[in-house]
Structures are given as structure tokens and as C-alpha cells.
Amino acid sequence: MKKHTILLSVLGLSVLETHSGVMSSKSHVRLSEEELDKVEKALEANDVTALNTTIKEQETKISNHEKFDGELKESLTAAFAANKLEMGDMSPKDAVAHLSAKCKEYGKATNTHSTPPTNGQNNNGDQAPKYAFEEAVNDTSKYPVLK
């Protein structure tokens, strides 16, 4: 069984020869000039600076997407609340489709404009005079209906 397999793969070597010193009981490794050249080439081949740059770029993209996703969900929630609708656990795609359907529904409605009702009384309880513009506004037969 080989020892230090990860170190060997990083260094680009197949074997590490350990040596014992005459006066020391600890073993050590010596590298020849040729082995040092192999190590240098292996380290050059394993250069990860480009990968680190790519990782940072991807982290930035992920952060931007998370920010966009959060803003999108906030906007959709606000749009649903403004229209007195329940979003529940809809995906953003489904929520936009639902809002689009509601817009079409609202657009097809024919009685979308209303005037405040009057009972013919003014604030004092006296009979209020009828004005010509009230009759014109309340008479919808004179206006074309958009379809």
C-alpha cells in the first residue's frame, strides 16, 4: 500500500523514497533535480487560478439571481395583495400567468366605471337638484362598450 497518495498525485510523482539519517531516527525525503522538475510541471498543470476566477464569477451570478428571485417574489406578492388575490405557494411562472388571466378578465368587464350613488338628497336632507351631467354620466347607453 502506497503512503501519501494525494501528495504523490499533487507532486506528479509515482514514488517517494524515504531515507534515514545516520544520527537521526526520523526518515526524510530527498528530491533530485529531475524530480523537482517533475514537481514543477505537475504544479503548473494543476494551476487553479482560472478555476478560482470562474468560481468567483459563478458566485456573483448566483448572488445576483438570488437577489432577482427575491425581488420578483416581493413584487408578485405585492401585486397579488393589491388585487386581493391569494398567491399561496405558486411558482413565479404560475403567478405571472394567473395575474395575466386576471388582467384579461378585468379587461373584458363592461361595467368598470361607476359613480357614487345619490339618493336625491343633499347633506342637509333637502331635495338636491338634478344636474344634467349626472344624467349623462349615469346613462351608459350613450357610450360604446369596448370589447
Q: What is the pLDDT of residue 125?
A: 61
Structural domain of 80: 49-107
Scanning the structure block, which residue is given the C-alpha cell 357610450?
Answer: 143
Conformational region of residue 104, where left means phi above 0, alpha means psi within -120 to 50, and beta covers everything else: alpha
Q: Give the residue-averaged pLDDT of 76-89.
A: 88
47 grid coordinates: 494551476
Decide if 123 is inside a domain.
Answer: no
| SS3 label, residue 20 | strand
**CA terminus-to-terminus distance, the chain:** 83
In this structure, the answer to whether residues 59 and 101 fall within a common structural domain is: yes
Decide if 91 is inside a domain.
Answer: yes
Decide if 119 is inside a domain.
Answer: no
- Kind of pairing between the strands at 18-20 and 27-29: antiparallel
In this structure, the answer to whether residues 71 and 91 fall within a common structural domain is: yes
Decide if 115 is inside a domain.
Answer: no
Q: What is the pLDDT of residue 94?
A: 92
Question: Whole-angstrom Cα distance, residue 13 to residue 39?
Answer: 7
In this structure, the answer to whether residues 35 and 85 fall within a common structural domain is: no
Dihedral angle sign, alpha carbons of residues 95, 98, 104, 105: negative
In this structure, the answer to whether residues 36 and 68 fall within a common structural domain is: no
Decide if 37 is inside a domain.
Answer: yes
The total number of structural domains that make up the chain: 2
pLDDT digits (tens, 9 = 90+) for 34-81: 878 887 887 777 777 778 889 999 999 999 999 999 999 999 999 989
| SS3 label, residue 28 | strand
In this structure, the answer to whether residues 41 and 88 fall within a common structural domain is: no
Question: What pTM value is reported for the model?
Answer: 0.43
Element (DSSP H or E) covering residue 76: helix 49-82
In this structure, the answer to whether residues 42 and 55 fall within a common structural domain is: no
